[in-house]
A = this chain, B = another copy of it.
Amino acid sequence: MKLVTAIIKPFRLDDVRNALSEVGVSGMTVTEVKGFGRQRGHTELYRGAEYVVDFLPKSKIEIAVAYDMVEQAIEAIINAARTGKVGDGKVFVTAIEQALRIRTGEFGDNAL
């Protein structure tokens, strides 16, 4: 199993979720994060006190998938999340050594 982690623009989240569902990924965990990168943040101004916000709101999607699904999942994410503008985000793949479903105790690919 692999853990596919994608950091995307928040307003693409629904599209990405739908794209993943279509390729058969039926579970995911999403975190609201703040991203720092090439994409420029904005300036805020409060009574003349300037404040440069470098961190931008992003959504982090984590999906545990079986080996053979990794490619499709990545494909689906990239297609749905891409706007072509800087700040579209990243996908990282890491290894999961074991997975368990708490309710049933099933493990491995069955737990997903």
Contacts and interface: CB of A to CB of B under 8 A. Distances in A.
A99 to B, nearest CB: 5
Contacts of A27: 35-38, 90
A19 interface: no
Contacts of A98: 91-93
Given A36-B28, A37-B26, A97 B97 contact: no
Contacts of A17: 36, 54
Given A91-B100, A97-B94, A103-B84, A30 B55 contact: yes
Given A29-B34, A30-B55, 10 more contacts: A27-B38, A29-B60, A30-B35, A30-B36, A74-B100, A78-B100, A78-B102, A89-B101, A92-B96, A94-B95
